[in-house]
Amino acid sequence: MQYAGMSCRDYVRELGAKSVLGGGSCAALMGALGTALAKMVGNLTSGKKRYAHCEEDICGILLQAESLEQRFMAMIDEDAENFLPLSQAYGLPANTELERNNKSEMLEKALKQACVVPLGLVQLCCEGIKLHETLADKGARLAISDVGVGVQCLRAALISAHLNVLINLDLMKDRDYSQRTKQETAALVAGGAALADRVYDKVAGILDGRDRDK
């Protein structure tokens, strides 16, 4: 089933049902929304005389945001596809030693596969947050609130993707892979979340009047 092509209503209904959709797919959708808002702010800025000195940067943001949006949208379905083998592995019989060994092997493989999309989402969310960092300085002020909304969407997607990584890593028997991936991912998430918070604070400062001269 192609979830990314569903209407909003049908996606929400499917999400609430007992299906392969879950937090990873939601994180991808939130990431797509965050980058779509970056595109919107970029389009409202591009071509405006007041922001002519930023035109090159804004055009670059539009190109990057389009690429990120496409990846996020693809990951809505990729995450669901990668979760299916894991759900199937959990249902394997474990009555004999041979069955238990087979189930353990299949679970380990499926857990690593289930990490692929969330790990990719962490990287993409950090890239998307950086676009909003630039837009907070160079984007059209009439859309500054959308920069704040966009960066919060990406922050939520970042944290959500991280949770989906952690739940799979904690169940793995390959502790070296698990610990190494945890450490690498935690550093990315901490940096991305901190940057998102700084961007949001800047937006809030502009909106409450602390930065009116900009």
**Over the stretch 12-24, which tens digit does the pLDDT of each residue have?**
999 999 888 899 9
Which amino acid belongs to residue 173? K
Q: What is the pLDDT, as a whole number, of residue 18? A: 80
In a domain, 6, yes or no: no
Q: Half-sphere exposure of 116 toward its Cβ, with a 13 Å CA cutoff?
A: 16
In a domain, 136, yes or no: yes
In a domain, 139, yes or no: yes
In degrees, rounded to 5, the angle at the alpha carbon of residue 47 between the alpha carbons of residues 51 and 62 is: 90
Q: What is the pLDDT, as a whole number, of residue 209? A: 83
Which amino acid belongs to residue 182? K
Q: What is the CATH number of the domain that holds 35?
A: 1.20.120.680
In a domain, 153, yes or no: yes
Q: What is the mean pLDDT of residues 56-71?
A: 98
In a domain, 9, yes or no: no
Instruction: Tell me the chain's radius of gyration from C-alpha atoms.
Output: 20
Domain that holds residue 186: 14-207
More confident residue, 22 or 213: 22
Q: What is the pLDDT, as a whole number, of residue 210? A: 57
Q: What is the mean pLDDT of residues 57-77?
A: 98
Q: What is the pLDDT, as a whole number, of residue 211? A: 55
Q: What is the pLDDT, as a whole number, of residue 181? A: 96
In a domain, 130, yes or no: yes
Residue 212 has pLDDT above 90, yes or no: no
Residue 183 has pLDDT above 90, yes or no: yes
Average pLDDT, the chain: 94
**Domains: count for the chain:** 1
In a domain, 3, yes or no: no
Q: What is the mean pLDDT of residues 42-68?
A: 97
In a domain, 5, yes or no: no
Q: Are residues 143 and 45 in contact, defined by beta-carbon separation less than 8 angstroms?
A: yes
Dihedral, 34, 40, 41, 46 alpha carbons, nearest 10: 140
